[in-house]
Amino acid sequence: MQISSAYIHIPFCQQICHYCDFVKFFYDERAADQYLEALQKEMAGYVPDEKQVMKTIYVGGGTPTVLTAEQLERLLKMIDDHFDIEACEEYTFEANPGDLDQKKADLLSYYGVNRISLGVQTFDNQLLEELGRVHKEEDVYINIERLRRAGITNISIDLMYGLPNQSVELFEESVDKALELNLPHYSSYSLQIEPKTVFHQRYKKGELSKPPEEEEVEMYHLLQRKLKDQGIYHYEISNFSTPGYESKHNLTYWDNAYYYGIGAGAHGYLPGKRTINIRPLPAYLEKVGKDGRPVLHEDPVEKKEMMEEEMFLGLRKMEGVSITRFREKYGENMNEVFDGAVEQLKEKELLEEVGEYVRLTEKGKLFGNDVFASFLIDE
C-alpha cells in the first residue's frame, strides 16, 4: 500500500490551552526558525528527490498560523518542494481564530491549501477565557470572512462539550451559532482531562468539575439532532459534514492506511511499523542535526495488531468496517478472528450488521471503548 498522506506538526502556540496535552511550546521566533530548518531536513529524509504525490497533507499543532507571515511562507515553500501540491486532493492547515490576518490567509490559498480547520471550541467568551484560549467570538467571524475572501471555503470548526461551567443551553447556543456560518464540516469533542495539563492539576486539587455524564450525553444527542436537521450527516463519532466534505486526511487514520508523521512528537504509520518522533524541542533539533531522523520509537505492527486496529479505527466511522474488505485485506473471517465478538456485541445491541458493514448502534456509540476492547486478540 502506497504512503499517500502526510501529517506535519508545528508545535508552537501563543498561549497553552488549559486542556491541551499535544506537543506544544510557547512561540519564540528564533526557536521557530530553528525548527523549520530541522523540519526541512526531516522532510528531505522521507522525500529526498522528486516531489511525492500525496492524496492528503495535514499541518497541525500547536498552532501553525502562529508563525510570522515570513515563516509561514517558508513552511509552505518547503512543503511544496517535497510534495506534489497540485495533485493533492486535500491540503489542510489548522488555525486559531485571531492568528489569521489577511496576508496569512492569502498565503495559504496561494500555495494550494484548500481546507482550514479552525479551533473555535465555543462561542461563549467566558468559557473561552476559562479554557485559556486567546480569541473571542468575534474573531471567528472575522477569520472566516478572511478565508473566504482568500478563496478558501472548505472550512471546518471544532466545538467542545462537557466543559466546566458549560450547561446544555450554553452548548446549544454555540451549536446554533456554528450552524449559522453554513460551513461544510464540523467536529465536536467531549473534554478529556489529560495528565500534565492545567485542568488536570486543578482537577486533582478538587478545583475543577465537569458537567454530569447525563448532561454530556444530552449535549452529544443535541449536536447529532441539530446537525442532521441541517442536512449535515454524522460520518464518524466526532465528525459531521455535508456530502463530499468528509475529512479525507482523517479517513486515512480511520481506514488504517499509511502516512508520514513529520515534526516533534509526530506519529507516523509506515509499512510494518508505527513511528513516534522525539517530543522535547531541543532533543528533536539535536537529533535531526545529527542524522535527519528524529524517531524515538519504531513499533513493529504485525498482522494481529493490524486487524485489531482495523476494528478500533474503522468502528469510529458511522458506516463501520467492511466485512468484505477485512477478508480481502487479511485473508481471514472477521468473526472467527475475534472469537465470535461480533455476534456477541450484536446480541448486546452494541453492534449491528448493515449490508456488508459492521457498525456501532446508537447504544454502541455511547460505549465505544467497551466495544473496542472486545477486539483485542488473546495471545
Q: Is residue 288 part of a domain?
A: no
- From 254, 287, 309, give the residue that closes a domain: 254
User: Are 247 and 332 in the same domain?
Assistant: no
Domain count, the chain: 2
pTM above 0.85, yes or no: yes
User: Are 207 and 346 in the same domain?
Assistant: no
Give the chain's residues under pLDDT 50.
Answer: none
CA torsion angle 263 265 269 271 (round to 10): 80
User: Are 249 and 324 in the same domain?
Assistant: no
Domain span at residue 334 reads 320-373
Q: Is residue 268 part of a domain?
A: no
- Give the domain CATH number at 342: 1.10.10
Q: Is residue 43 part of a domain?
A: yes
User: Are 250 and 327 in the same domain?
Assistant: no
User: Are 228 and 356 in the same domain?
Assistant: no
pLDDT of residue 71: 98
Q: Is residue 292 part of a domain?
A: no
User: Are 347 and 243 in the same domain?
Assistant: no
- pLDDT tens per residue across span 174-196: 999 999 999 999 999 988 767 77
Beta bridge partners of 6: 57, 260
User: Are 232 and 325 in the same domain?
Assistant: no
pLDDT of residue 1: 58
User: Are 135 and 229 in the same domain?
Assistant: yes
Q: Is residue 296 part of a domain?
A: no
- 63, 13 contact by CB (below 8 A): yes
Q: Is residue 206 part of a domain?
A: yes
User: Are 156 and 249 in the same domain?
Assistant: yes
Q: Is residue 270 part of a domain?
A: no
User: Are 241 and 108 in the same domain?
Assistant: yes
Reading the block at residue 140, the C-alpha cell is 471567528
| 130 contacts: CB under 8 Å, gap ≥ 6 | 18, 163, 164, 165
- Give the span between the Cα atoms of 285 and 231, in whole angstroms: 46
Closest CA to 39 of 276, 261, 248, 252: 261
- From 219, 254, 289, give the residue that closes a domain: 254
User: Are 24 and 162 in the same domain?
Assistant: yes
- 158, 121 contact by CB (below 8 A): yes
- From 204, 231, 254, give the residue that closes a domain: 254
Distances 359 to 223, 239, 345, 362 between C-alpha atoms, Å: 20, 16, 10, 10
| 260 contacts: CB under 8 Å, gap ≥ 6 | 3, 5, 6, 7, 46, 268, 270
Q: Is residue 68 part of a domain?
A: yes
- Give the domain CATH number at 183: 3.20.20.70
- pLDDT tens per residue across span 32-83: 999 999 999 999 999 988 899 999 999 999 899 999 999 999 999 999 999 9
- Long-range contact pairs involving 302-305 (C-beta distance under 8 Å, separation at least 24): 303/330, 304/377
User: Are 69 and 186 in the same domain?
Assistant: yes
The DSSP H or E segment spanning 74 is helix 69-82
